[in-house]
Amino acid sequence: MAKVLMPVAEGFEEIEAFTIVDILRRAEIEVVLAGLLPGPVAGAHNVSIVPDTTIEMVNGAAFDMIILPGGQPGTDNLNADPRVHVLIKEFAANNKMIGAICAAPIILASAGLLRGKKVTCYPSYRDQLNGGIFENAPVVSDGTIITSQGPGTAVNFGLVIVTRLAGRHTSDGVSNAMLAQETPSDLWNPNLFNSIIQALLGALETKDSYTQGQARRVAEYCLSIGLKLKLPITEMRDLYLGAMLHDIGKYNTAEDVLNKPDSLNFREETLAREHTLKGTLFVVGINNLSHIGPTILHHHEHWDGSGYPGRLKGEQIPLHARIVAVADAFDAMISNRSYRDGINKETAVRELLKKKDTQFDPFIVDVFIECLNESPFEIKDFSYYF
């Protein structure tokens, strides 16, 4: 059974803390409340609780996740306690899950954990995320970090956490028992959304005959990696979208550059590289797509910082962009191009291994090679990820 730690300080937001604890305990997940000092702790609206223990007595190694409730001055009180920062950095170093709601993501920002990560928070704190990429959504997951916007999103936040810790079946069971209502899905047909994406790619492929089916193959590779990483369903959807549209910016690139049979000169290479910026502009401001902009923008960054356009390094590069980078490179190597023939799978794998720690995230390369060894990768229709 999973075990979760929730530190609480004077002025915490009661709805957030109580709702999350209640939902997790309904899922039979153990939750331990830890005060900064012994004795009762009063919330922002003068509701007091007696925590199970104090933060001084906590052994972080005994927990699978830490969750920080928001509220003021509770968030500032947690943020001012160095023991809280030690704990969350310990969880991050051990690749354990970290959750924060309302104002509390600024604590993660202060600890340097949000740079390059997709994150949400109470809107008035969006300028204090220290490099975090704000998304206006009730709950946002990026790797092991899950954030939420405020008291009104606490139920969704709790259910997402249950899904990650105990599985979708358990989360659905808790949700159904609580009569939690989801947004009606019949307002937007997901298959229609997917068909529009497919049509856009078809238009791109008419310009560049050498990319026929490339986005679909890259998307499948990426989703196989995502399944290995046990990404939640919403992240799988976003990974699919980012992979499908990662090269959409090439639509505005001259055909003679895309299909040139020999090496590009400096001017042509500059034009080709602009596709990441053009593709990002393509999705900016579009509901349900703008949040995948970082995947499109950064899928040519290199692990060692030598890529483009931002020369991001290591985990500064968004996770989805790192996944797309590996899948895209593999597909490019095994596919025929105007200037060369494709190489075989074994040679392409050797190239990926050769460029671990320089061009590619070494962990993602290892996961992808596991996927290649386990799946024949037949092209499928991934519309069910919407």
Is the domain of 271 the same as that of 311?
Answer: yes
Is the domain of 63 the same as that of 111?
Answer: yes
What is the domain-level CATH number for residue 243? Answer: 1.10.3210.10
Is the domain of 18 the same as that of 81?
Answer: yes
Number of domains within the chain: 2
Smallest CA-to-CA distance from 103 within 65, 154, 69, 139 is with 69
Is the domain of 196 the same as that of 135?
Answer: no
Q: Rounded to whole angstroms, how far apart are CA atoms 164 and 142?
A: 12
Reported confidence tier of residue 185, pLDDT bands at 50, 70, 90? very low
Does 24 fall in a domain? yes
Question: Catalytic residues, which ones?
Answer: 102
Is the domain of 202 the same as that of 349?
Answer: yes
**Global pTM exceeds 0.85:** no
Is the domain of 170 the same as that of 228?
Answer: no
Is the domain of 287 the same as that of 367?
Answer: yes
Q: 309-327, pLDDT tens digit by residue?
A: 999 999 999 999 999 999 9
**pLDDT above 90: residue 162:** yes
Does 140 fall in a domain? yes
Range of the domain at 110: 3-178
Does 183 fall in a domain? no
Q: What is the rounded average pLDDT for all residues in the chain?
A: 87
Question: Can you tell me the mean pLDDT for 255-274?
Answer: 66
Is the domain of 111 the same as that of 246?
Answer: no
Is the domain of 307 the same as that of 255?
Answer: yes
Q: 32-71, pLDDT tens digit by residue?
A: 999 999 999 999 999 999 999 999 999 999 999 999 999 9
What is the domain-level CATH number for residue 59? Answer: 3.40.50.880
Question: Can you tell me the mean pLDDT for 181-185?
Answer: 49
Of 150, 178, 206, the last residue of a domain is 178
Is the domain of 139 the same as that of 235?
Answer: no
CB 305 within 8 A of CB 311: yes
- The pLDDT, as a whole number, for residue 256 is 55
Of 178, 210, 240, the last residue of a domain is 178
Does 185 fall in a domain? no
Does 363 fall in a domain? yes
Higher-confidence residue of 232 and 271: namely 232
- Annotate 100-167 with three-state secondary structure: EECCCHHHHHHCCCCCCCEECCCHHHHHHCCCCEECCCCEEEECCEEEECCHHHHHHHHHHHHHHHHC
Does 184 fall in a domain? no
Is the domain of 283 the same as that of 353?
Answer: yes
Is the domain of 160 the same as that of 209?
Answer: no
Of 151, 178, 205, the last residue of a domain is 178
Q: 66-109, pLDDT tens digit by residue?
A: 999 999 999 999 999 999 999 999 999 999 999 999 999 999 99
Does 169 fall in a domain? yes
